[in-house]
Structure 1
Amino acid sequence: MRVTIFSTFDTFGGASIAASRLHQALGRHGVQSRMLVQDKKGKAPEVYSVANNWVQQKIALARFAADRYQFAFYEKSKAVRFVFSQAKIGIDVTSESVVKDAEIFHLHWVNFGFLSVQSLTQLAKLNRPFVWTLHDMWAFTGGCHYSGTCESYQQACGNCEHFLRKPSSDDLSHQVWLRKKELFQQMDLTLVACSEWLAEKARQSSLLQGKKVISIPNPIDTKLFYPQHKREARQQLNLAQDKQYILFAAMKISDARKGFQYFEKAIQHLITQNPSLKDSVELLVMGQAQESDFGNIPCKVNVLGRLSDLSKIATTYAAADVFVIPSLEENLPNTIMEAMACGTPVVGFETGGIPEMIEHLQTGYVAKAPSAEDLAKGIAHILQHPNYEDLGKNARSKVESEYAEAVVAKRYETLYQSLL
């Protein structure tokens, strides 16, 4: 079977990384997978871009800028500029060879000037079955990628006070909802959520009534992300052998959804309640961050910066004693999967798809959200666990049984076969 995966990016952001990993997993499983993106940065085979020269790349950049500029007239504040997409600007990809030759269209995250609602309407006219893997809520809302406490997507959107400057019953969110309603009536569409949490949200939405919604997790390469001896991993990173390391992935720490304020308070509480840890515990930070961002952290902070070498990322997970993710709203974070694949226990809040990944007290600790105190309790639980190695083995075992490439690719292959 011939499958074409659509994704705005191939290596930038969690959704695109998940799409690329699925593309790789399908290929290794024997499925003929091609991937079409707007902005290609990686070197993976069978990944094609709609912008193949300097001029097309500039046009693609202009579409992205225009897409964001358009929304600026409606946004409630700059803080929401990149978390709401009206999808009015995009490109017609129906003439691309990997589109014309495909038997199944598999959508992932396609915003920011790549595929608009009109682009998807043009694809629907080709009469192929669609699979849409949901990495957030955008497909079934009036434009927001995460709705927070708002449940208007269960009716018809409108009166969007969270994101729009002038909310009303016929505001931008309602207009986007109407365009999507018309689009979905033309599509042979199956929705795949990466977590059961997101699948349930999708089933409750008004736009997807009558559509099939299932849950299949993202895959991970368990040969790339694997347990390593901590001593060897720390030697490679020039880290001390006599310290305990708390790993934190810093992406958009200014984004309230990422929960950095709770992580910061949790570390403060951890040290206050366990003074002896002040000199024995250090923080490892990978991602976009500066040391100045961690001025209120009462222990040594090692900022590794943004890492692109996957083997070094895997080594960093292996070197850590615990990985902490304080996000308040997440689907199925790649970082949790990566840490667990490397045999590192994880602490996170009981929100989104996180409790589906972390088995409480077996592979890590699921803290009550948004309690910084319980997050600190979870970190202490891992660091002081009498059978610490068992937690790591359990984490690795869960990844192998549920998220390994062959496991996930087989589930998608079965789905594809049912649609042909």
Structure 2
Amino acid sequence: MRYLFINSVYGVGSTGRIVAEKCRQLRSEGHECAAAYGRACADNGAAQLIRIGTKADYLVHAGIVRLLDLNGYGSGAATRRLLRQMERFRPDVVWLHNLHGYYLNIGLLFGWLKEHPQIRVLWTLHDCWAFTGHCAHFSAVGCDRWRSGCGDCPQLRAYPKTYGPDRTQAYYRYKRACFTGVADLTLIVPSEWLARTVKQSFLSGYPVEVRRNQIDRNIFRPTPSDFRARYGLAGKTVVLGAASVWTREKGLPDFCRLREKLDSRYAIVLVGVTEKQKSGLPAGILALPRTADAEELAGIYSAADVFVNPTHQDTYPTVNLEARACGTSVVTYDVGGSPESAGGEHIAAEGDIDGLAEEIRRLTEPAAVLL
């Protein structure tokens, strides 16, 4: 069979690696794959690669979003070229991933899909953008306007950021018109939480399959390292946090508050911190830059006593899976799909710093808790 994937990136970032790995798997099974991407690419030789548009197209589309909040309206010429290439490739299956990212015209793409009802369409949702009038996540602000049509959006400055007027009601209707009515479309989500959420949206008419995100267990496994010795952490209980980009939504301020709740026996280590962020952290937090070396990260996970993920919005975070695969238990908030990937045992209510601290102590001082 012929599979054609569409994603903002290929082979890089979490979604890009998922697409590249799926292409590799399908090719090993004898299928033919093409992968269309909007921006970054790391070729693994598993697919025919199709670049959608140019950097100039991307910048123009991003500018439209910044000024007018019209994400998915731009990139018309680039999308038409893509559709001509899709006609030549003749896919049996079109497998969509992230369609946001300033590289694709969703109206043109879904118009083409509806004109080709014989093609099976799969769509892996990595976030909630497909059924909102603007945002990719809404849990952190407690917004449920996506249930009824959006409007009066509290997150216009969140990705995909805009400084223009609130067009979220109109964009919600536009997305609903684009995304509904495809003859053979199945939605794939990484968590039960997202499956339940999708079933409350305008995409509820499509079948939904839960397929958990996977990690490379040849890399993420208990890994000896000199991490503790290198940073003077001998004798400390290491509380680890890691993110590719630390934000309020990822819980960076929560770690600052957590530092106040844990005594000096505990060392908090954060991976992925920028120099600017580092300067604003309180004493007692070891801030390290992001590492692109997965094996080094596995060594850090393995050296920790507990991994804490105080995320305020997530569909199924793979950092939880990575930590657990390295033998480190996870504490997280009861938010989105994070409890599912954390194992569901050491969960605190969102924003409950005392609850986080209690779960950390429960894991690292079991005898004290029992007393």
TM-score by length of 2: 0.84
SS in 2 for 1:256: coil
From 270, 277, 285, the counterpart of 1:285 = 270
What is aligned with 1:188? 184
From 356, 367, 378, the counterpart of 2:348 = 367
Mapped to 1, the partners of 2:366 and 2:108 lie a distance apart of 53
Matched, 1:261 2:242: no
Larger mean CA deviation between 148-157 and 124-133 belongs to 148-157
Q: How does 1:14-413 map to 2 (within 5 A)?
A: 14-27=14-27, 32-51=32-51, 60-74=54-68, 86-90=71-75, 91-92=78-79, 93-96=82-85, 100-124=89-113, 125-127=115-117, 128-148=119-139, 149-163=142-156, 172-183=167-178, 184-206=180-202, 208-229=203-224, 232=225, 234=227, 240-253=233-246, 255-271=247-263, 278=264, 280-290=265-275, 293=278, 295-303=280-288, 305-361=289-345, 365-385=346-366
**Which amino acid is 1:373 matched to?**
D
Mapped to 2, the partners of 1:312 and 1:377 lie a distance apart of 29
Mapped to 2, the partners of 1:302 and 1:138 lie a distance apart of 31
SS in 2 for 1:225: coil
SS in 1 for 2:361: helix
Deviation at 1:236, TM superposition (A): 9.4
**Which amino acid is 1:45 matched to?**
G
1:51-105 CA-partner distances (Å, limit 9, x unpaired): 4xxxx8xx52223322222122346xxxxxxxxx721123321233697242111
Distance 1:12 1:102, change over 3 A: same
Mapped to 2, the partners of 1:180 and 1:89 lie a distance apart of 14
Deviation at 1:251, TM superposition (A): 3.9
**Which amino acid is 2:352 matched to?**
S
Deviation at 1:293, TM superposition (A): 2.5
Q: Which runs of 5+ in 2 are unaligned?
A: 157-161
Mapped to 1, the partners of 2:32 and 2:237 lie a distance apart of 45
Mapped to 2, the partners of 1:37 and 1:344 lie a distance apart of 35
Larger mean CA deviation between 315-324 and 154-163 belongs to 154-163
Deviation at 1:380, TM superposition (A): 2.3
Q: Is the 8 A contact 2:191 2:316 kept in 1?
A: yes
SS in 2 for 1:185: coil
SS in 2 for 1:379: helix
Alignment root-mean-square deviation, CA: 3.0
Distance 1:308 1:251, change over 3 A: closer
Deviation at 1:139, TM superposition (A): 0.8
Q: Is the 8 A contact 1:36 1:47 kept in 2?
A: no
**Which amino acid is 1:268 matched to?**
E
Mapped to 2, the partners of 1:248 and 1:212 lie a distance apart of 35
Mapped to 2, the partners of 1:297 and 1:134 lie a distance apart of 37
Q: Is the 8 A contact 1:35 1:46 kept in 2?
A: no
Q: Is the 8 A contact 2:2 2:31 kept in 1?
A: yes
Q: Is the 8 A contact 1:16 1:109 kept in 2?
A: no
Q: Is the 8 A contact 2:150 2:172 kept in 1?
A: yes
Larger mean CA deviation between 220-229 and 343-352 belongs to 220-229
Larger mean CA deviation between 217-226 and 180-189 belongs to 180-189
**Which amino acid is 1:68 matched to?**
A
Q: Is the 8 A contact 2:99 2:106 kept in 1?
A: no
Mapped to 2, the partners of 1:260 and 1:98 lie a distance apart of 46
Larger mean CA deviation between 155-164 and 313-322 belongs to 155-164
Deviation at 1:191, TM superposition (A): 0.8
Distance 1:22 1:372, change over 3 A: farther
Q: Percent identity?
A: 24
1:141-183 CA-partner distances (Å, limit 9, x unpaired): 122111332222222333434427787xxx5222222222222
Mapped to 2, the partners of 1:345 and 1:45 lie a distance apart of 36
**Which amino acid is 2:256 matched to?**
E
1:22-50 CA-partner distances (Å, limit 9, x unpaired): 44455556655443222243232224543
1:192-214 CA-partner distances (Å, limit 9, x unpaired): 111111111111012x1321122
Q: Is the 8 A contact 1:37 1:48 kept in 2?
A: no
Mapped to 2, the partners of 1:237 and 1:95 lie a distance apart of 55
SS in 2 for 1:257: coil
Distance 1:25 1:378, change over 3 A: farther
Deviation at 1:285, TM superposition (A): 2.6
Distance 1:329 1:126, change over 3 A: same
1:202-253 CA-partner distances (Å, limit 9, x unpaired): 11012x1321122211122211211224xx4537967654333222214443
**Which amino acid is 2:238 matched to?**
Y
TM-score by length of 1: 0.75
Q: Is the 8 A contact 1:87 1:111 kept in 2?
A: yes
